[in-house]
Amino acid sequence: MEFNKNRIYTAVNADELKIGSTVYVSDNMYYLKKCVEESLESSILTSILSEKEPKRFCISNNEKWQLVYLIEPKYKPFESVEKAMEVIKKHGGWVKWKDDDIQGLVVGKSDDRVKILQDWVLPEELFEGYVFADDGSPCGELVEE
């Protein structure tokens, strides 16, 4: 995986990270980069400690770390319209176009498409062009690795 410094979290921005995120952990930049570039073992973030602590990130067994690198989950298009509608309902029915802030309500479905306002969209188009409006997550299924 290519190293992207925008995915690094420190004591300064720790509160922006969600508990349960999949991350690489380290106390130095050298090893953090190595973890990312060589796809070493990842961890699940279990808690974030107070600002008083120098090592704010906790993983299993109460291990504490200074740095984490967020591993973005991988998604794929929904395999069926039924699966898409199930997830869309959990997100309140609203989606947002990726290239601007326009939001649309999913108002219908057919055998192979969902209807966003007046447009009928295939699951592949939904995945490529939209995110969920409530949290910005991709309009697709999480790929289990």
Instruction: Write the pLDDT tens digit of every residue in 97-116.
Output: 999 889 999 999 999 999 99
Task: Name the residue with tokens 């998604």.
Answer: 75
Both tokens of residue 142? 């999480």
Structure tokens at 4: 């992207």
> Within this chain, do residues 95 and 138 fall inside the same structural domain, yes or no?
yes
Domains identified in the chain, total number? 2
Domain carrying residue 20? 5-70
Same domain, 55 and 83: no
Strands, E, within 13-88: which ranges? 22-26, 43-44, 47-48, 57-58, 64-65, 67-70, 75-76
For 46-55, the pLDDT digits (tens) are 999 999 999 9
- Coil vs helix vs strand at 81: helix
pLDDT, tens only, 62-90: 899 999 999 988 899 999 999 999 999 99
Verify that 55 and 40 share a domain, yes or no: yes
Same domain for 103 and 85?
Answer: yes
Residue 119 predicted with pLDDT over 90? yes
At residue 21's C-alpha, the angle toward residues 34 and 53, to 5°, is 80
pTM of the model: 0.64
- What does the pLDDT look like over 21-36, one tens digit per residue? 999 999 999 999 999 9
Return the bridge partners of 105, or none.
94
